[in-house]
């Protein structure tokens, strides 16, 4: 049986409202450049550093928009979510700032650093198995017990409107961009990017970057309908989740192309970014650079915004140190 509820598609007015609502709780993150990577790619790359964002990732934008837009009669029950990590962190941070409870279902295999950080912000964790099926089952229990408002990590109009504030800032910070590229997992950041750019700069190309080993968005895009994997395996742990109806709406209507990279290419791009740019980024947000290095002809001569989505890394287990 199909879900009968109609899709609520956020508008660009929702992005503007979100930006006003969340401004006190987020950073306007800086944009960095790298002569090294420009020379290597023949493009002009502008890295929007959401790894410097509150709670260490862009997800705090959407999470804060949901939490601070919550009606008063929901405050006591609070919010709940399932997340591979950064959304959990961000929702816990935002809920803590508003003083409401936050319930989080996380895979037991999530990095210890992320679990510790969620608890550090006051989030209440319930563990599940590392598959989409298990995650959704455990979450249904939590929601039934608590009555908390479900803030989906990406398939939620409040979240997508919040993520759209990132490329809104980027367009203000860097004039004349030809393209923007961001990682794609469930598609929240890409959808927010599509929402903002299709309304304010419809000529700018939008690329999504995905691990080969979790390429459900790539295959969905080529097939013209959503294809979901259960339990894909990639170092880019933030990108394992599938597209949903709302993010598919934006991806299918506004994305220029989806590019993929192998695990080795992702790890190499991650290490090179640490080494050359002196910033700590997650494997997930090395995927765009990996695809740019792999497809120089697509980007050569263009001014490209690259969204660095997060920097929450377990520093004790780096993928290039065995």
Residues near a copy of itself (CB under 8 A)? 30, 32, 49, 51-52, 56, 113, 271, 274-275, 277-281, 311, 313, 315-316, 318, 320-321
CA distance 288 to 189: 13
User: Residue 197 CB, nearest distance to a copy of itself (Å)?
Assistant: 26
Nearer to a copy of itself among residue 245 and residue 264 (C-beta): 264
- Helix (H/G/I), strand (E/B), else coil: 34: coil
- The answer to whether residues 308 and 48 touch, using CB atoms and an 8 Å cutoff, is yes
- The answer to whether residues 250 and 190 touch, using CB atoms and an 8 Å cutoff, is yes
User: Residue 151 CB, nearest distance to a copy of itself (Å)?
Assistant: 23
User: Residue 32 CB, nearest distance to a copy of itself (Å)?
Assistant: 7
User: Residue 117 CB, nearest distance to a copy of itself (Å)?
Assistant: 10
Nearer to a copy of itself among residue 58 and residue 250 (C-beta): 58
Hey, how many other C-beta atoms are within 10 angstroms of the C-beta on 155? Answer: 21
CA distance 253 to 145: 38
Nearest CA-CA partner of 206 in 218, 196, 220, 194:
194
Nearer to a copy of itself among residue 101 and residue 310 (C-beta): 310
CA distance 252 to 244: 11
Nearer to a copy of itself among residue 258 and residue 267 (C-beta): 267
Nearer to a copy of itself among residue 227 and residue 293 (C-beta): 293
Nearer to a copy of itself among residue 55 and residue 159 (C-beta): 55
Nearer to a copy of itself among residue 67 and residue 308 (C-beta): 308
- Helix (H/G/I), strand (E/B), else coil: 127: strand
**Parallel, antiparallel, or unpaired for β 102-107 and 124-128?**
parallel
User: Residue 293 CB, nearest distance to a copy of itself (Å)?
Assistant: 18
- The answer to whether residues 250 and 8 touch, using CB atoms and an 8 Å cutoff, is no
CA distance 154 to 168: 18
User: Residue 79 CB, nearest distance to a copy of itself (Å)?
Assistant: 22
Q: Exposure pattern of 101-127 as b/e (b: 16+ CB <10 Å)?
A: bbbbbbbeebbebbbebbeebebbbeb
Residue 74 DSSP one-character state: G
User: Residue 316 CB, nearest distance to a copy of itself (Å)?
Assistant: 6
């Amino acid at each position: 049986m199909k879900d009968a509820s109609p899709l609520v598609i956020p508008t660009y007015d929702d992005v503007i409202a979100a930006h006003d609502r969340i401004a006190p709780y987020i950073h306007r993150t800086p944009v960095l450049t790298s002569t090294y990577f420009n020379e290597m790619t023949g493009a002009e790359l502008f890295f929007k550093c959401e790894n410097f964002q509150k709670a260490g990732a862009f997800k705090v934008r959407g999470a804060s928009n949901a939490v601070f837009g919550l009606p008063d009669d929901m405050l006591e029950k609070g919010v709940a979510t399932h997340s591979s990590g950064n959304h959990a962190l961000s929702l816990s941070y935002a809920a803590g700032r508003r003083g409401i409870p936050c319930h989080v279902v996380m895979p037991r295999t999530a990095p210890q650093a992320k679990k510790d950080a969620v608890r550090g912000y006051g989030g209440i964790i319930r563990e599940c198995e590392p598959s989409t099926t298990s995650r959704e089952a455990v979450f249904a229990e939590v929601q039934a017990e608590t009555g908390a408002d479900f803030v989906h990590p990406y398939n939620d109009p409040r979240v997508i409107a919040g993520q759209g504030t990132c490329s809104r800032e980027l367009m203000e910070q860097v004039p004349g961009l030809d393209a923007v590229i961001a990682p794609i997992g469930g598609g929240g950041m890409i959808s927010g990017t599509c929402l903002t750019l299709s309304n304010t700069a419809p000529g700018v190309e939008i690329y999504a970057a995905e691990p080969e080993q979790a390429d459900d968005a790539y295959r969905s895009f080529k097939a013209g309908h959503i294809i979901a994997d259960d339990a894909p395996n990639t170092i880019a742990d933030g990108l394992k989740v599938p597209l949903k109806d709302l993010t598919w709406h934006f991806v299918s209507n506004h994305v220029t192309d989806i590019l993929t990279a192998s695990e080795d290419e992702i790890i190499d791009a991650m290490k090179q970014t640490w080494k050359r740019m002196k910033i700590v980024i997650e494997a997930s947000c090395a995927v765009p650079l990996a695809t740019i290095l792999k497809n120089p002809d697509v980007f050569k001569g263009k001014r490209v915004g690259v969204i660095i989505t997060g920097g929450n890394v377990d520093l004790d287990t780096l993928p290039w140190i065995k």
